[in-house]
Amino acid sequence: MSKRRHRDSIRALLAKIPILTYHKIENRREVGINALPPEHFQAQLACLQELGYTTITFHDLLDSPELPEKAVILTFDDGYASVYEHALPLMQPYGFRGVVYAVGRFIGRWNDWDANLGGIRFRHMDRRQLRELADAGWEVGAHSLTHRALSWLDETSLHREIFGSRDLLADVAGRMPTSFAYPFGMHHLRVREMVKAAGFAFACGGINSAAEAVDPLQLRRVPVYQFEGLSAYRKKLRIAGLPRLEYLKLRILSWPAVLTPLYQKRFRRELFLEMEGMPGVYSNNSND
């Protein structure tokens, strides 16, 4: 394996690499804007190829001896099964790979952590599917154990969510995860320090993350929504010059995400208590 890049070199690279956020790639509709039809996704992949982009992962940033001149990172939050069913086969002909952020305790389960308006539920990838992605060159990153707002948790629960998801995903993918995605894009200094202590080199927020895009522990990502055309998609790739109106639009569209943690506290408390008692790789007796 090649020598890992210096931190300053990585910061310089990150300043030039757009990071996009997807969730579901499927035709099923939801009361929301995060389910992207496969045909729209394929058009975006063709657009990336036409513009000369090559996908990379955060693993590549650390270890690959050479990186493409025009790199882009495609991230998929929550680890939905539709990413395995649709995104993977659509990306393979282009030689593209992605970064999938799995919710540890919901692997292979329905997304009952979410509000699921209209009673529409979506299934998360199981261990076999995640391992196949890892074997295909994808990065399997951590997205906590239960997808709660980490900045609202006490120290013990925060440690469990971050270190526990790290250990569980390492067991699933066969490799220690390099990057972490904050649920709902919510984080503060205490959360970032815990993520760093767990050994993550990178951590992703959302469009509202610090404008200092070169901070590896609070990377800004640009979300992709189902109703947007290719003109809007091309704007998302302009990391150094995202138009102000586009930025404001994306911030407005992202704000409803903060309502889900409130829903969880009111209606999902028993589910998360059950999750905290589940056996797994992680133990409270960890030496970390």
For the stretch 148-181, pLDDT in tens is 999 999 999 999 999 999 999 999 999 999 999 9
Report if residue 234 sits inside a domain.
yes
| CATH number, domain with residue 111 | 3.20.20.370
Report if residue 101 sits inside a domain.
yes
pLDDT in tens, 189-231: 999 999 999 999 999 987 765 555 479 999 989 999 988 899 9
Report if residue 109 sits inside a domain.
yes
pLDDT at 255 over 60: no
Report if residue 285 sits inside a domain.
no
Residues β-bridged to residue 76: 22, 100
Nearest partner of 207 among 257, 158, 161, 162, judged by Cα: 257
pLDDT at 102 over 60: yes
Number of domains in the chain: 1
Report if residue 287 sits inside a domain.
no
Which whole number is the average pLDDT over 21-48? 91
| 127 Cβ contact list (under 8 Å, min separation 6) | 107, 108, 172
Please check whether residue 225 is in contact with residue 235, taking contact to mean a CB–CB distance below 8 angstroms.
no
| 129 Cβ contact list (under 8 Å, min separation 6) | 81, 84
Residue 1 has what pLDDT?
A: 41
Q: Which residue has the higher pLDDT, 272 or 125?
A: 125
Report if residue 284 sits inside a domain.
no
d(CA 154, CA 167) in angstroms, rounded, equals 20
At 118, list the tokens: 């209209």
The pTM (predicted TM-score) of the whole model is 0.87
Report if residue 2 sits inside a domain.
no
Domain with 116 in it:
7-276
pLDDT in tens, 77-89: 999 999 999 999 9
Report if residue 283 sits inside a domain.
no
d(CA 124, CA 140) in angstroms, rounded, equals 13
